[in-house]
């Protein structure tokens, strides 16, 4: 039941754009002892379910810049396969460390970012 609640909460956070997927990966690896690669795969499947609802909401509120979306989509289509190959070649301990460092950097950035009015 706890995993269901965690899944629901991270889904809601994902819809708000807060990074629920990152929290889901942390939950799966630290609390459920799921391997990093498996947790990342589960997170991708989870994202496929949460993203459409969030996208519809963001489009309705005019929060999606179509030009930026186009460039990000092109960049993602090119870099995703390359990153997947790289992740398969990097030892899991390094991936965990890189992911932890990334979360720390993003968290610090969010703490000290100036909010626009």
pLDDT per residue over 53-95, tens digit each? 778 888 899 989 999 999 999 999 999 999 889 888 988 889 8
Mean pLDDT over the full length of the chain: 85
- Tokens representing 76 are 């993602």
pLDDT for 15 equals: 65
Cα 81–44–5 angle (5° rounding)? 165
pLDDT for 34 equals: 92
> How far apart are the C-alpha atoms of 83 and 48, rounded to whole Å?
19
- Tokens representing 61 are 């509120």
> What pTM, to 2 d.p., does this model score?
0.54
pLDDT over 70, % of the chain: 93
């Amino acid at each position: 039941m706890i995993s269901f609640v965690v899944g629901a909460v991270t889904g809601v956070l994902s819809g708000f754009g807060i990074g629920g997927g990152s929290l889901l990966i942390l939950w799966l690896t630290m609390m459920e002892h799921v391997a990093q690669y498996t947790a990342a795969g589960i997170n991708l499947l989870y994202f496929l379910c949460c993203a459409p609802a969030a996208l519809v909401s963001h489009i309705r509120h005019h929060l999606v810049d179509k030009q930026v979306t186009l460039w990000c989509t092109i960049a993602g289509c090119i870099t995703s396969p390359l990153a997947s190959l790289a992740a398969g070649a990097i030892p899991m301990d390094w991936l965990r460390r890189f992911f932890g460092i990334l979360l720390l950097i993003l968290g610090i950035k969010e703490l000290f970012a100036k909010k626009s009015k």
